[in-house]
Structure formats: C-alpha cells, structure tokens
C-alpha cells in the first residue's frame, strides 16, 4: 500500500522524557517492564500507511538503555498501532535483545503458520486486539476470533485494549477467546467516578469471574485527571493488584504514545509501583513472577 503521509512527527507530538530521574524504588532482581513500544526509527522501519498518528523515533537502542538505567532486566514490547500489522521493528528489537525481550504482535487473519513460527522464534508470545477507535479502524469480531484460533496452539495469549464504556459490549466476545487474555491499563477506568462505581466494579467482576483474564496496572499518567504524582489512580491499581496478585503486570508504556497533557518521567513512574503494590510479596509477583510465567516459561 502506498503511503501518502510524510513520515514526519505530528506537530503536537510529545517526545519521551530526555533525562528521567533515577527511581527511589529499587526494583527486585529480574523485574520486567511488561508494556512498552518501539517506534521505527522511521528511516529503517517506516510507519504504516493506515496509522492514526506519526510519532517521534523511539528505537530499540533507546528502549534498552532506559531498561538498564531504571533497573529492569527485561522488556515486553507491544506492537504500536503506528506500525499497523508490519511487525518488523518489533521483531528486530526482539532479535537484538539477547533474549531480554518478548513481544506482542499485531497480525491479520491471513497470517501463515510459517510467519507465526518465525515470530515465535524471535520471541513473540501474544497478539494485540485493539478496540480503541481513535487508534485503529474497527476489525470484525470474526476476524479476531479466527486469529485467536491460529495463535492458541502456540501457547500465545491475547492482549485487548478497550475503553471502559465498551466493556459491556465486549464481554461475550472476551468469553469466546480460547487463550489467556491481558487487558491493557485496567480497561481504562474513568478515575473521577471512584472505585465503587459500577463501571469499575464491572471490570473487577470480569476478572473475578474468569481466571484467564489478567490486567496491566499501567498508565497512571494516561488515566490521571490530576497529573503527577497520579494519586487519583492509586486506589484503582491497588484494588486490582490486591484482588488478583497473580494476574497483574506492570510496564512503563515508554515512549508514551499520544500523551497530550504532559510527558511522564519514567523514573517517577517506577516510584509509583510501591504505592499500588505495597508489600515485597506483591511487588515480586507483579514485576517478576507474573511476567516471567507469561512470557519466558
């Protein structure tokens, strides 16, 4: 498909933090940043024609340097929508990670078994189904279901990204998926409503009713209405961690696509972890045991 848009960063794009603080919170040995992305670099891995945004370059070298600086041992790199179903930047990062990164790809129903095997060998362990309308054109549920059938035999899981108001409509679909399901950013609750609001309770009920559903307790900077230090998000993430300690993941979301209000300091994001996982036991599960079980077992 020919690209009719220049590969030039959107004028209102916010670039990732140039010099994050060293976290005060010391990450446990083996900690995994289980939600981050690579963007390009565009000269080597052009963004997809169907993308909804054109970001800054944020390649694997910068990501791996941040991993080491913050004190993480490993990354889970999630295919960003600006690369569409072209997973070359992701796979290249995985292949250059010395086994320290796993990936979540975006594929179509026409993906072949050979292509899946190749991605598996590189370190891909899941696919992402995106329902956020500002990021992607809608994909029919039958297409997602046929992709799910194809990836299930590999032992992969499915990451789903949706907004809180869409959960009710998606529930029957989620129940049909044959694999472990990981929900991005706690299903994006409206944090002005309170954790007792039926919308957030619906999300907790979903997890309570289906042991295959995991949640990333990520993106306080995206969910917060107050801004740093994101205190308004703490009760939500803490509730999920404490209710489902064996089914939660944490990640930076570097390089933070589509942030409009501000760019978070990645070191300060790490300092958010002990607020939502207050004990060493919860921290170990969130940062080490759970991601290693899902991605490196």
Rule CB under 6 A: which residues touch ligand 0GY?
80-82, 135, 184, 253, 257-258
Residue 2 CB, shortest distance to ligand 0GY, in Å, is 22
Residue placing its CB nearer to ligand 0GY in the complex, 188 or 247 = 188
Q: Where are the alpha helices (DSSP H) in 183-284?
A: 198-209, 220-223, 234-243, 266-276, 280-284
Cα separation, 68 vs 32, in Å, equals 11
The DSSP output letter for 101 is E
Residue 192 CB, shortest distance to ligand 0GY, in Å, is 18
Give me the torsion for CA of 267, 65, 9, 51, rounded to 10°. -90
CB contact set of 55 (below 8 Å; sequence gap of 6+): 9, 10, 13, 39, 40, 47, 80, 82, 255, 257
Residue 203 CB, shortest distance to ligand 0GY, in Å, is 17
The catalytic position among 166, 253, 265, 266 is: 253
Residue placing its CB nearer to ligand 0GY in the complex, 64 or 254 = 254
Residue 122 CB, shortest distance to ligand 0GY, in Å, is 19
Whether residue 253 lies in the annotated active site: yes
The DSSP output letter for 229 is T
Residue placing its CB nearer to ligand 0GY in the complex, 51 or 285 = 51
Cα separation, 274 vs 229, in Å, equals 13
Residue placing its CB nearer to ligand 0GY in the complex, 5 or 22 = 5
Residues marked as catalytic: 253
């Amino acid at each position: 498909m020919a690209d009719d848009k220049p590969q030039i960063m959107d004028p209102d794009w916010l670039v990732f933090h140039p010099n994050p603080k060293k976290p005060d919170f010391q990450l446990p040995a083996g900690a995994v940043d289980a939600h981050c992305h690579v963007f390009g670099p565009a000269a080597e891995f052009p963004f997809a024609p169907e993308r909804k945004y054109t970001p800054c370059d944020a390649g694997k070298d910068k990501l791996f340097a941040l991993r080491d600086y913050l004190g993480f041992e490993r990354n889970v790199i999630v295919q960003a929508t600006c690369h569409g179903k072209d997973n070359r930047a992701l796979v290249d990062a995985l292949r250059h990670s010395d086994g320290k990164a796993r990936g979540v790809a975006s594929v179509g129903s026409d993906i072949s078994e050979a292509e899946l095997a190749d991605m598996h060998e590189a370190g891909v362990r899941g696919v992402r189904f995106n329902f956020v309308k500002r990021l992607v054109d809608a994909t029919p549920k039958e297409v997602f279901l046929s992709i799910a059938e194809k990836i299930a035999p590999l032992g992969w899981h499915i990451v789903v990204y949706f907004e809180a108001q869409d959960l009710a409509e998606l529930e029957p679909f989620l129940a049909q998926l044959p694999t472990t399901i990981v929900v991005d950013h706690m299903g994006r609750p409206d944090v002005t409503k309170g954790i007792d609001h039926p919308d957030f309770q619906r999300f907790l009920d979903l997890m309570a009713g289906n042991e295959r559903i995991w949640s990333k307790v990520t993106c306080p900077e995206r969910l917060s209405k107050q801004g740093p230090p994101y205190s308004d998000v703490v009760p939500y993430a803490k509730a999920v961690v404490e209710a489902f300690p064996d089914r939660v993941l944490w990640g930076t979301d570097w390089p933070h696509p589509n942030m409009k209000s501000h760019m978070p300091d990645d070191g300060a994001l790490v300092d958010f972890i002990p607020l939502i996982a207050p004990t060493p036991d919860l921290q170990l599960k969130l940062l080490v045991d759970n991601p290693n079980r899902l991605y490196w077992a």
